[in-house]
Amino acid sequence: MQKEKITEEYKLEVVERLRTLGFSIKADVRYRGQSFALVAKRTTFEIERFGFVETFFVLAGINIRDATTLKEYSKKCFAYASRSSRMPLPRGLFRSTVCYSVAICYGADAAVANAVKNTEPPRHYSATEIPVICDLEAGQLYYLERTPDWGSVYWDGIRDNIVKVLSPKEAERASGGMTEEEAGLSKKSAGTEHGEVLDEFEISQVELRWTRVRIAWFLYLLAPVAFVIICNVAGPEANGASHSDGATYGVKSLFCVLSAIALCLSYLARRASAKPESRINRFMGQYSYISGPVAAAIACVSISFFGLVLFYVKREFFWLYLLVGIAVVAHIFLRPRKQELIKQAIYSKRDL
């Protein structure tokens, strides 16, 4: 009876959090022989995912015997989420799916918990499947802690959502498992992966670096806009360089290849800065996070600069607008995020 009470209180808390975040919720859903206690769905438009995102939280009480049991449960959750889409667009065409497969249990097996924390979930086209174990007995969440290569840009937000929505600490405290003081400390550290708290000086340093990286990012964003203004002022009728069609084609091909290389470099620089556990981040600390987005921004600006050069060579707005558009979208997609800088500061403090 005590376990049932804790479970019901936990589910009520999760429902309240999900409704606050704009989710619609169904209870007692059955699918392929599996009973889901709660299914929550929300559709939003996210520019970093280039379209609409359907987010699902699927919760059920599961007796997790081994990693295979959890894998099969997560597979059913993702299949249900895929089937429940009501958008006319195919997945991958301005639409993606995120499914949190949440298994509620008491006393998770250590081997299974360790596997969840270290094993990348199955890969899907324009979709993310995230297995999560919620152990109400220990008051712990188990999920992938490291950042995978597939969709690495999104995983800080995914982990934040897991903690924000699924943290079981309140249910445990309500049932007598935690004191008020312990619950307060848990809330204070809930947003960090290691539960460490930065002091006032460290917080001020994070704020200072966050201000600098935001200013640099915004200034670099102005460059493509300036290139478009310059070209529109000059106009296609202005005298430009005279080249043969063959030479023009060669220049266009060259700058398209260079733009693709710059786009790849910007993504790699941004991905490296988002991984505090990487060697370069361990060596450089928070300064690496600043240099990562700045390097990505410079690479994006170079793409728009290539558009400017092609406009000078060909006197056509098409290539200018195309490359500037790609540069602006990549610049916004790879924008810096404050939570990543905070995470970097916590890792730096832990390694001291």
Q: Where are the domains of the chain?
A: 2-189, 200-351
Query: Quick check: helix, strand or coil at residue 204?
Result: helix
| Residue 184 confidence class, pLDDT cut points 50, 70, 90 | very low
Give residue 279's pLDDT: 56
Mean pLDDT score of the chain: 78
Number of neighbouring beta carbons within 10 Å of residue 138: 16
Instruction: Give me the residues paired with residue 141 across strands.
Output: 134
CA dist 96 and 55 (Å) reads 9
Q: Phi first, then psi: what are they for 51, rounded to 5°?
A: 155, -155
| Residue 5 confidence class, pLDDT cut points 50, 70, 90 | confident
Per mean pLDDT, which range of 159-168, 206-215, 322-331 is the poorest? 206-215
Query: Quick check: helix, strand or coil at residue 142?
Result: strand
CA dist 63 and 54 (Å) reads 28
Give residue 3's pLDDT: 76
Query: DSSP class of residue 320?
Result: H
| pLDDT tens readout for residues 285-328 | 455 566 777 788 888 888 888 888 888 777 778 888 888 889 88
Give residue 239's pLDDT: 46
Q: Phi first, then psi: what are they for 133, rounded to 5°?
A: -105, 125
pLDDT of 16 strictly over 60: yes
Residue whose entry in the numeric block shows the structure tokens 């200072």: 208
CA dist 43 and 96 (Å) reads 10
Give residue 186's pLDDT: 39
pLDDT of 337 strictly over 70: yes
Query: Quick check: helix, strand or coil at residue 276?
Result: coil
Which residues are within 8 A (CB) of 186 and not within 5 positions of it... i.e. 6 or more apart?
167, 169, 178
Query: DSSP class of residue 332?
Result: H
Give residue 120's pLDDT: 87
pLDDT of 95 strictly over 80: yes
Per mean pLDDT, which range of 104-113, 177-186, 290-299 is the poorest? 177-186
Give residue 73's pLDDT: 92
Give residue 143's pLDDT: 92
| pLDDT tens readout for residues 66-87 | 888 899 999 999 999 999 888 7
This model's pTM is above 0.75: no
